[in-house]
Structure 1
Amino acid sequence: MTSWRTKILPPLLAIVFSLLICSVALLISGSDPLRAFGTMVEQLFRGTTAIDTLNLGCVYYLSGLAVAIGFQMNLFNIGVEGQYRFAAVIAAIAGGAMHLPPVIHTSVIILIAALAGAAYAALPAILKVTRGVSEVISTIMLNSIVGGIVAFLINPQQFGVLTGNNLRTQQIDKSGQVPGIPIGGGELFGFVIIAAVIGLAYWFMLNRTRFGFELRASGESATAAAAGGVSAKKMTLIAMLLSGGVAGLVAMPELLGRDFSYAITSTQNYGFTGIAVALLGRNHPGGIALGALLWAFLDKSAVSLEQVDVPKEIAVIMQGAIVLSVVVAYEVVKRADLAAAQRRVGRALTGRQASVAEGGAV
């Protein structure tokens, strides 16, 4: 059984290590680390920064969940970036073309996004199970292709609309939008509730269903799982489709809660951030949520550093340090936990042998 040290210590060590690295970098550049970090924390309580952080954290959370599903099967779905962009443009085109009653309209858009993401993930999944093609290679290639697909579909000759100097899809009717939640002077994405439900469903699937057990067993050892009647290829295919389906929802908080159309200039790289968030959260929905909020906080508060003459790139250094150190921290704590378990077993065996020896002497 995994100890609390293996779950909690690694991310804490990673964060502390990244703070030390950034502090050294700030000292070398002649800046005060305490002042810089204090400014970032103060920024969280200014204006709508806190709400913006939660909204961005919702996007990162969905991206992290999509990556985590693949990790459970030892699959590195680096294609979340391409899957969510493909799903976003397809869902935006379909949503803008439809005129349905509220709730139904929104539900159809979300369903289309999930199916589109799963369809884009099906390509590397099929190549993986039929030809043994590495999902890393195939998804990287598909990430490159999706840019051309988006540009083609948003072209005015296809489904695009020229708005000023920007190309975008037709705007989605109000019936297809997800209402926000007014908080203070900002508005929280209503999709946060849907993201939380998806996180709970992910936890329930892994810990309370036979499929979740088979998924984790196949990820731990495909050979052992096969001996128990679990098909590794089938689990690989299903895991990739589920990962792609969740990836298809990554852009939905912004599409249905703020932008209402998908533009050629829409934000990118959410998929790659999801990899770091999933690593930091150790593939656990609660840990992923904390990792997503941390990442969003660093992104949103970094702009305040320029007020104290500190380059905002220090936040990027902190994020990079977290990614690099989290893997090392997990391995260090895991080995320490294993060594402690071995010592306990050794002491137990020694005590049993001593008891047997005493009994024989009597």
Structure 2
Amino acid sequence: MVAANVSIPKLLSPHALHSLLQYQDSSKARVIPLDVSLVYPPASEYTQHLDGRIPGAKFFSMKRYAAEDPELKTTIMLPTAGKFVGAMRYLGIRRDDHIVCYDVMGFWTPARGAWMLKVFGHEKVSVLNGGLPAWKAAGYSIETGSYPAAEPSDYPFVLRNKEMIASFDSVASSAINGSKPRVIIDTRPVEEYADIGHVSNSFSLPFTNFLAGPPPNDMRVLPEERWKGIITKVVGDDLFKQMEDKGNELQVISTCGWGVTACTLWIILGSFGVNTTVYDESWEGYEMRAGNPVEKGSPDNLHPGTPTKGVTSFPELQIAIDALPDDGTPKVDEVSQ
């Protein structure tokens, strides 16, 4: 049981989550593990969920419940308000439940799940550090097989907090002007940043820098006392000095390939009080618009690249939702206010 006046930690260890699940009072606000796995190359996350999950976990499809952009065809986007609320009601989740996001990889998608919940104003949100692999490594049991649908909840209709989402216009203006106090940080692998290209005037800070081991090995986030050193090694002390000088005027835009690993930086920088937004479209959306300026090269050898051509570098991942094979993922209704 998590009391209303107790601060909700951003990261939970398997031991902490196990304790919460063991001693919660089911008549009050609940602790619910939420599997938000997203697997590349395309695979059935729901099948993996049924093959092994944290006891009592529910499944939210970041792929099938996403919104689709009819023009850009971007693949992993925030759900519409109606789809999000419809999913929450279907899963039986209540507004005061403490949701703990996790995935089957360790730390690939759960920060995205936490950011999504916060965008829609869900207050009690944590991430399981190390995900399902860490849970199993700690010796805790898993559930397998199908399970009955939950009793639908009365989750209220909510809208997105747009202040948490970086717009294309804000990214594009920074790419052209390098405007301050706005900083863009790219969390993709440095090879993608350098060879495929990146938003001009953006820093390279791979999200894996914050992990204990390279994927798919130990995907636990390193201790918090190491975070600032990792950040300053890339962007210098200037980011934190600007934060002290400008406060909330300083805006960091976190971006990646599809708006997934960018959310790791949202968690990390948020712990320092840095105003961090996530560019939901990320590189996919930026690249799918023709004529945007591109920079290439490693951080110590940057040079202009060919402007974007309006196509994606990863067409094999750009699969329309209605073209995905039916793997049994529960279908949820889009509700209206």
TM-score range, shorter chain: under 0.3
Q: With structure 2 as the length reference, what TM-score do the two structures score? A: 0.23
Structure with larger Rg = 1
Q: With structure 1 as the length reference, what TM-score do the two structures score? A: 0.22
Larger helix proportion of the pair: 1
Larger strand proportion of the pair: 2
Higher RCO (CA-CA < 8 Å; seq separation 6+): 1
